[in-house]
Structure 1
Amino acid sequence: MEKIYKISTLCDDEYIEIEERCFDSLTIISSRQSDFQYLTKEPAVVETSEDGGFEYPDYIWYPVPLISERFKRVLDNNGIDNVFYKPVYIEDELLEKRTMYWLAVFDAIECLDYEKSLKDEELEWSYEKVVINPLKTGRYKVFKCSEINEQDIFFKEDIVRELESLDLKGVRFDEI
């Protein structure tokens, strides 16, 4: 049975942060699957916050998933085609630096294993333990689970191994 992993960010003071006021436009257009039709491929520009560090991670989760060019290259090279990408430039005015990332909106599919997953007793829309049924994922190697409200992104093992071989910054993959 193929293993499934969830991606997480590594919090570290050395990594950049995005200016809080820049979140609104990105969050509105990408946080809900129902708003997908409003996305355009026109680049967005966001600024770094003075609160963050100077290191650029390969994955930024909050408020939307932003991936680096080399992260995207792995997905492209593996034929991952269930993703809508929007270019996002992150500008650091202090360093006079502009770095391109990709806002990545992944398809959400019905793949939750209800028998093995454990609902959170306090938060009815959340799960303490999420288990994905790999038989329901079909050809998808990277996806979101439509039955849960979390913004978690799941990866199959072969993609995780390739991404881990790049020694990505600010990224962790946890087997679920």
Structure 2
Amino acid sequence: MEYFIILQDDRVINYAEPLGLSKLINKDQVKNADLEALNTDPVMVHVKDKDESEFIDVIEKPVLLISDKIKQVFDVFGNGEFYKPVVLGDPKHMDTHLYHLIIPNKVECLSKLSEFNPDGTIKRLVLDRSKLFGEHIFSVNGIREYFIIVDLDVVESIIRSDYLGIKFKSVEVD
């Protein structure tokens, strides 16, 4: 099976940028999967005032958010992921869009072939295929970075869903 990191497409420059979200959602709580502190209560924030904003399907900053359309794809393949609803409001255009903070299951799947930088960040991410049976959506336990990794089935479903603002980076598998 092939696996991919799901990322925001940086070619879309006019995307809706959430304001004040880092005051409501702590990055460390996301990274450490502190579900009790994060809770499932929805939050609402405004987006940066622009003439036009693209509400893309993946927003990486300040925390990774997926659109409701992508969450529906994830629900088909899901395996107990945590979701926190985040509503992005655009007061200038009197519009709201539903997104979700996702914290997938952490999987011990780091291959011995993975390489790290001196500061502990991942230099070369390699997954151990033998530890990934049945995993469609997950994050990797044992690394500092927070990536959402999806398998080829999920990628194909997203591609069929008429997505906007997503790119996929292939991950090595051993």
* Pair 1:31–1:169, CA change in 2 (3 A): same
Distance in structure 2 (CA, Å) of the matches to 1:64 and 1:29: 10
Q: Deviations over 1:36-78 (max 9, x none)?
A: 2223222100110136951100111222221111101111123
Partner of 1:101: helix, strand, or coil? strand
Q: Which residue of 1 aligns with 2:103?
A: 105
Q: Is the 8 A contact 2:122 2:144 kept in 1?
A: no
Q: Deviations over 1:73-126 (max 9, x none)?
A: 111123x02311111110111111111111111111110002x21222x42x11
* Percentage of matched positions with identical amino acids: 24
Distance in structure 2 (CA, Å) of the matches to 1:106 and 1:33: 11
Q: Deviations over 1:118-176 (max 9, x none)?
A: 222x42x1111101112212322111101111011111111111112223111001111
What TM-score does the superposition give when structure 2 sets the normalisation length? 0.89
Q: Which residue of 1 aligns with 2:16?
A: 16
Distance in structure 1 (CA, Å) of the matches to 2:37 and 2:130: 31
Partner of 1:143: helix, strand, or coil? strand
Q: Which residue of 2 aligns with 1:118?
A: 115
Q: Is the 8 A contact 1:29 1:39 kept in 2?
A: no
| 2:41 aligned with 1:42 | yes
Q: Is the 8 A contact 1:29 1:36 kept in 2?
A: no
Displaced runs of 4 or more, over 6 A: none
Partner of 1:94: helix, strand, or coil? coil
Q: List alignment gaps of at least 5 residues for structure 2.
A: none
Q: Is the 8 A contact 2:29 2:35 kept in 1?
A: yes
Q: Which residue of 1 aligns with 2:141?
A: 146
Q: Is the 8 A contact 2:25 2:38 kept in 1?
A: no
Root mean square deviation of aligned Cα: 1.8
Partner of 2:41: helix, strand, or coil? coil
What TM-score does the superposition give when structure 1 sets the normalisation length? 0.88
Partner of 2:111: helix, strand, or coil? coil
Q: List alignment gaps of at least 5 residues for structure 1.
A: none
